[in-house]
Amino acid sequence: MAKITPVLMSGGAGTRLWPLSRRDKPKQFHALGGERTLVQDTVLRFTAEPFGPPMVICNAAHASLMREQLAAVDVKTEALILEPEGRNTGAAAVVAAAVAADHGSELVLLLSADARVKDPAALSAAVAAGSAAAEGGALVIFGIKPTAPETGYGYIRAEAGDEAVRKVAAFVEKPDLATAQGYVADPAYSWNAGIFLFRPDTFLAEAERVAPELTAAARAAVAQAPRSGGEVRLGEIFRRAPSVPVDVAVFEKTDKAVVVHADIGWSDVGAYDALWAEADKTASGDVLQGPAIAADTSGCLVMSDGPVVVVAGVEDLAVIVENGVVLVTRRNAPGAVRAAVEAVRRAGRDDLL
């Protein structure tokens, strides 16, 4: 099997987890109830063959934090690529492919740094299943076996067949509940978790063909980037790249896309309801992290970084106390958290974000 370079994209803001996740320390740098942070867990999945040293793409403002977190788990990167600002995964993918090509990488495994995988062995098996196709020039995307009718995820529909690797028939964006329920029951559909495998040269050639403006700006940024001590610092030209996801920019337009279905226990832990679902609970179904006391409650998530929180006579709430900010909301209402972020911004308190 070809040597695979994992490339971790660490650009998300995680606003559905505000005020825990903020611009200075987004969710990938938090443990979220685990022993290690999400970025540490992600990078440690790829320490054995056939994976080589990882590359990481992150905002330049997070460079020190990223170096500290990787050093804490004794991981050395092939390259730390620093963005002046996030331009979505399309530009990040082109940069990853260009830098990986410069380093002689045979295959790139591109994925986010802020998701949980309960079965890393199954992920490695899925990557192995897709490697031959990627070596042969296919652009591989991994489809996650749905466990619920999620309306907040995109879906991938595979062409008919029972092969491990199948052509992508269509990408479907965030369906309504009734449609999502149908997708869960249909084995042709899988969640789009944003995990990709490809040869750098193949991806760059397709990106140049179907997304020339994006590719030109991202490749120019790489070509002009100063490199020192393993860092690749992208310059201002990177800001010219259109902000578009890689699946929209490239995978939806290419005829080389194939999907490998993967049952890996994936979760984007992108909302407080997801944190509650994964955590150990009290007899009443509450999750209490930090100094918290609950009485006559059920289904609540309480997280505090210092002050004692007492909740009583309520159910299904999320109470988050983090760095001087208190958020009280329904536990299963990620839209309410986004609305809270917008209200804070309208109030002129960007310092809290």
Output the domain CATH number for residue 149: 3.90.550.10
- Whether residue 251 sits in one domain with residue 293: no
Ranges of H-type helices in 251-313: 272-278
201 has which bridge partners?
none
pLDDT score, position 14: 79
Q: Do 173 and 192 belong to one domain? A: yes
Provide the pLDDT for residue 5. 98
Q: Taking the C-alpha atoms of 17, 18, 20 and 24 in order, what is their torsion angle to the nearest 10 degrees? A: 120
Let me know whether 143 and 288 are in one domain: no
Same domain, 229 and 305: no
Q: What is the pLDDT of residue 272?
A: 96
Domain shared by 183 and 259, yes or no: yes
Q: What's the pLDDT at 334? A: 85
pLDDT of residue 162: 83
Residue ranges making up the domain that contains 324: 272-352
Residue that terminates a domain, selected from 223, 238, 267 = 267
Q: How far apart are CA 303 and CA 70, in angstroms?
A: 25
Same-domain pairing of 10 and 62: yes
Would the pTM count as exceeding 0.75?
yes
Six token digits for residue 86? 């996030």
278 and 262 share a domain?
no
293 and 212 in a common domain: no
Tally the domains of the chain. 2
| Average pLDDT per consecutive 10 residues, the chain (353 residues; last block may be shorter) | 93 88 94 92 95 97 97 96 96 97 96 95 96 97 93 93 92 91 93 97 98 97 94 95 96 96 93 93 96 97 96 98 96 92 96 95
The predicted pLDDT at position 161 comes to: 86
Task: Report the 10 Å Cβ neighbour count for 190.
Answer: 24
262 shares its domain with 288: no
Under DSSP, is residue 342 helix (H, G, I), strand (E, B) or coil? helix
At 27 the pLDDT is 94
The reply to whether 259 and 283 lie within a common domain is no
Question: What is the pLDDT, as a whole number, of residue 325?
Answer: 96
Helices (H), the chain: 38-44, 63-72, 88-102, 120-135, 177-185, 200-210, 212-224, 246, 272-278, 334-346
Block residue for tokens 């210092």: 306
Residue 183 pLDDT: 93
Distance between alpha carbon 123 and the CA centroid of its chain, in Å?
15
Co-location of 63 and 147 in the same domain? yes
